[in-house]
Amino acid sequence: MRNTQDTQLLFELSHAGRRATRLPACDVPETPVAELLPAGVLAAAPPELPELAEPHVVRHFTNLSTQNMSVDTHFYPLGSCTMKHNPKRNERAAAYFGALHPLQPQESIQGILRLLYEAQQYLCEISGLPACSLQPAAGAQGELAALLVAAAYFKDQGQSHRRKVLVPDSAHGTNPASAVMAGFGVVTVKTKTSGAVDMDDFHAKLDDDIAVFMITNPNTVGIFEPNMGPIAEAVHARGGLIYLDGANMNAILGIARPGDFGVDMQHYNPHKTFSGPHGGGGPGAGPICVTDKLAPYLPAPVVAKRGEGREASGENGGAEYFLDFDRPKTIGRLRSFLGNVGVMVRAYAYIRSHGPDGLRAVSDNAVLNANYLLSRVKHFLPVPQGDRCMHEFVASGAKLKSERGVSAMDLAKRLLDYGYHAPTVYFPLTVKEAIMVEPTETESKATLDAFAETLFKITGEDPDLLHEAPHTTPISRPDEVQAARQPRMCYCG
């Protein structure tokens, strides 16, 4: 039974005189604060704060927390930027470093520097690319960082005329945005109905002005690009670089390395590939890995190691870890202090606890789960890209809309009533009434069966019921455009 009484704003729950704690009477002579602080820093009046007893504060925040969906309470078949299960041991590992101060001398934080250094090494090994920076604060900033690295490289090579970035039309929306922010022009490359890059269109738009080809692989319709080799060969022959949007690395861990199939630079989304907070629950991280020739331009600092091989002493065997700012060609700093360390601690713990075989098993199970769910869904929601997928698939609700007037949005909203987080809809734009589904590797067969059966049930429900869904949430269908563009982020009385 849900308590809705204490979900009002704390200001609305406030009653004058209520306290959670009362301090004892002062047992020393009191000094007026005006005698201790300069007049210029004193407030004219005390701030207006809500006055509440502790139980009301606890109930307020506890009740609010239960109105959210989370990976700890619900199945997230989200797709694209899936929320995966975050092992609790990783949360404890991140908390272990919470007492560090970001301004501590480097000699006093050798433990965390060693962890970050080793995290860089693991990310390099997994990607097949030899150099890494943990600086970017999110996946999209990782994209921007890599594009800035490419721009700095071409400028250094006297090839500043290279201003063209080719982006498939199935790419994440952040790809062209990052390219433009880095000063490039974007040219869209068509994809075929199979989801693969249209090679005729690719070759027609490839010329000596190319700087970067940005590709997500596996791509957003859940297939591994079959022409990856010829694409990389053609781009390199023209002097360009290949950038991999690494958002979907969770499908190929231990199976394929981007550096081995021609990629020059990539970012990771640790929240999806390893573990960590995501989006509004962040902060996130977007570490990037690059080839040797691009390494001098990486964001600084990178965590480095010196003294290896000298006489061993101490817990690091004589080695010293440090933040390397001495990088004359770097694109500069993207994040304060050491970056979002907590995210990288979680990723490090995830990598170490799984090991090479375990990471491959993660991808194997992610692909298995996605294909099992695909096999259950395709009979009533067509999947244009075929019978097999990698980590996710994109179904089309076009037939459902034309025959019953039920849109992909109606279906997604109705899922909330059944206790499922809504999947990504209307992306990619290449699929009509797109419904992108990604179940992640930790979901059970029973969960996948229940979700497929719920989807099937919804497709047969009264359309009028679906148009008004959800019916069980505190808010049904807000004006999403107004909410995004004119958010009310403060208490207005």
Instruction: Say how far apart CA 401 and CA 409 lie, in whole Å.
Output: 10
DSSP state of 252: T
pLDDT tier at 271, thresholds 50, 70, 90? confident
- Torsion, CA 141, CA 76, CA 226, CA 145, rounded to 10: 0
Q: What is the pLDDT of residues 366-403, one digit of tens each?
A: 999 999 999 999 999 999 987 899 999 999 999 999 99
Does this model's pTM top 0.95? My answer is no
pLDDT for 143 beyond 80: yes
Sign of the four-CA dihedral 68, 88, 352, 117: positive
Amino acid at 185: G
For residue 136, the number of C-alpha atoms closer than 13 Å in the C-beta half-sphere is: 27
Would you tell me how many other CB atoms lie within 10 Å of the CB of residue 401?
Answer: 18
Q: What is the pLDDT of residues 113-126, one digit of tens each?
A: 999 999 999 999 99
Q: Region 288-313: what's the mean pLDDT?
A: 87
The packing angle between helices 341-377 and 445-459, to 10°, is 60
Q: What is the pLDDT of residues 427-466, one digit of tens each?
A: 888 899 999 999 999 999 999 999 999 999 999 999 999 9
Q: Which of 219-233, 249-263, 300-314, 369-383 has the lowest mean pLDDT?
A: 300-314
The packing angle between helices 174-181 and 139-156, to 10°, is 40
Q: Which two tokens stand for residue 472?
A: 């069980």
DSSP state of 24: P
Q: Region 65-91: what's the mean pLDDT?
A: 84
Task: Collect all residues with Cβ–Cβ distance below 8 Å to 442 and sequence separation of at least 6.
Answer: 84, 85, 365
Q: Which two tokens stand for residue 266?
A: 């990539």
pLDDT score recorded for residue 315: 59
Task: Collect all residues with Cβ–Cβ distance below 8 Å to 447 and sequence separation of at least 6.
Answer: 75, 439
Would you tell me how many other CB atoms lie within 10 Å of the CB of residue 435?
Answer: 28
pLDDT score recorded for residue 210: 97
Contact indicator for 394, 383 with CB cutoff of 8 Å = yes
pLDDT score recorded for residue 282: 59
The answer to whether domain 88-351 has CATH 3.40.640.10 is yes
Question: Within the chain, which residue ranges are assigned CATH 3.90.1150.10?
Answer: 361-480
Instruction: Say how far apart CA 283 and CA 88 lie, in whole Å.
Output: 17
pLDDT score recorded for residue 1: 67
C-alpha closest to that of 407 among 463, 369, 471:
463
Question: Within the chain, which residue ranges are assigned CATH 3.40.640.10?
Answer: 88-351
Q: What is the pLDDT of residues 302-338, one digit of tens each?
A: 999 998 655 555 556 678 999 999 999 999 999 988 8
pLDDT score recorded for residue 317: 67
Amino acid at 245: D
Burial class of residue 395 (count of CB atoms within 10 Å of its CB; 0-12, 13-18, 19+): buried
- Superfamily for 361-480? Aspartate Aminotransferase, domain 1 (3.90.1150.10)
pLDDT for 107 beyond 70: yes
DSSP string covering 279-292: GGG------EEE-G
pLDDT for 279 beyond 70: no
Q: Which of 22-26, 250-254, 278-282, 286-290 has the lowest mean pLDDT?
A: 278-282
Q: Region 281-294: what's the mean pLDDT?
A: 88
Q: What is the pLDDT of residues 148-195, one digit of tens each?
A: 999 999 999 999 999 999 999 988 888 999 999 999 999 999 999 888
Instruction: Say how far apart CA 66 and CA 166 lie, in whole Å.
Output: 44
pLDDT tier at 78, thresholds 50, 70, 90? confident
Average pLDDT, the chain: 92
- Angstrom CA distances, 364 to 58, 390, 442, stand at 42, 9, 11
